[in-house]
Amino acid sequence: MEDLGEKIEELLADETSHEDTADKLDVQRIQQGIAEGDCLTVLMSKLHEMSELSGKNPAKEYMKYIMGYAELIGKFTINKKCEINLMKVMLEYIMEDPDLEKAFMPTVQGLYDHEMNIISEEAVVEWLANAKKMEDEDFTPYINYMQPFVDWLEEASEDEDEE
């Protein structure tokens, strides 16, 4: 994993397209026998490590920063488990900084709305259900921010079913 982290850093510094970076990273991942979900965790850790959020609105900056890497991230969200893992990794980072509290929901929504569908409706709904089951007070604000989004997703899904 450490080797993969170093390779990610090198690839991100090369300033090639995200598609090329993703392809090279995927080759490394396969050579090292690392699962997509684990690769995604290392990638997100490196992106978080490299982030410089210093403006007046760090939550908005975080969302824009992550969305700037959406195509790269999307290469490794191959299933719902990976998508939920992505949400967990982002939330762990966000929870370390109170100024980022409001970044989680818009970032998740941005990844959901992205043309690559980086995070699926099913992953968002499952994350919320699991977060509620944990009954951890630390998750309360994030649950509260995500609930209207999940309600909207479920309403849209119901409308589609009726058609």
The domain total for the chain is: 1
What's residue 10's pLDDT? Answer: 87
Low-confidence residues of the chain: pLDDT under 70: 160-163
For residue 142, what are the contacts with CB-CB under 8 A and spacing of at least 6? 91, 94, 95, 101, 104, 105, 131
Range of the domain at 44: 2-120
Judge whether 97 lies within some domain: yes
Residue 14, pLDDT score: 81
pLDDT at 161: 65
| 20, part of any domain | yes
Amino acid letter, 74: G
Would you state the pLDDT for residue 157? 74
Beta carbons within 10 angstroms of residue 151's beta carbon: 11
pLDDT, residue 17, reads 86
pLDDT the model gives residue 13: 85
Residue 106 lies in a domain: yes
Report the C-alpha gap between 155 and 150 in whole angstroms.
9
Is residue 133 one of the residues assigned to a domain?
Answer: no
Whether residue 160 lies inside any domain: the answer is no
Q: What is the CATH number of the domain that holds 94?
A: 1.25.40
Q: How far apart are CA 105 and CA 101, in angstroms?
A: 9
Q: Is residue 126 part of a domain?
A: no
Chain CA centroid to CA 31, Å: 24
Is the whole model's pTM more than 0.95, yes or no?
A: no
- Asked if the structure places residue 67 within a domain, the reply is yes
pLDDT score at 163: 62
Amino acid residing at 118 = I
95 within a domain of the structure (yes/no): yes
